[in-house]
Chains A and B, each alone.
Chain A
């Protein structure tokens, strides 16, 4: 039972493009929505996170958009660079646990 659905599974963009990764959840008890970035051979690293009382959060080139009524949230990467090529995971948390989406493999072409 997947509580957080992530799409697309893979994404290829040109340098400077704006990749968008989407996630949807069902559990209304979720109150914290982080995104993680993972490079090959490494553990996931926290990228940016949002709480449901705001609709958007920006940190550098990364933006989370949050739609509470639709139970959806998305990650936008502005001016994407080849160094952003990685796997991205959305996640959602009610309290003690963190539930992850299935991941999106992003490739940014030079």
Chain B
């Protein structure tokens, strides 16, 4: 939707291995986000980016790193996957209602990546 592609869509990996998830957007949005979704917790922000090479931590950033070397790509890396990182990961982009007013309208989410760490 809205030019957001997440890859892979499903992945099973072993504990201790590194994993990278990719989010690709085609509409040149400045802000991009990574969330994880777990039952009973809603969506929790992992990291976000407000421009190329500009990133910041969210509420559950431990064990995750991100990179954004191009506007269109935002990568999420699990340096050493653990079973607690089994989750569904969503990428999102921000579209402002009226640029300059600061209010956020996060209209678009990707389809999600289901990651299982065994």
Contacts and interface: CB of A to CB of B under 8 A. Distances in A.
Chain B interface residue number, banded: 20 to 34
B109 interface: yes
Shortest 5 CB-CB distances between A and B: which pairs? Answer: A43-B109, A100-B42, A100-B43, A102-B42, A93-B104
B16 interface: no
Interface of B: 1, 31, 33, 35, 40-45, 48, 50, 56, 58-59, 90, 92, 102-112
Interface stretch (A45-53, A68-76, A77-85): A45-53
A46 B48 contact: no
Interface in A78-110: 89, 91, 93, 95-103
A31 interface: yes
Contacts of A103: 40, 42
B111 A43 contact: yes
A82 B111 CA distance: 23
Contacts of A62: none
A49 B43 contact: no
Nearest to A104: B42
Given A45-B109, A51-B103, A96-B104, A89 B45 contact: no
B79 to A, nearest CB: 23
B111 A6 contact: no
A97 B58 contact: yes
A43 B1 contact: yes
Contacts of A32: 103-105
Interface in A16-52: 31-32, 34, 41-46, 49, 51
A44 B103 contact: no
A93 B107 CA distance: 13
A44 B43 contact: yes
Contacts of A89: 42-43
B102 A95 contact: yes
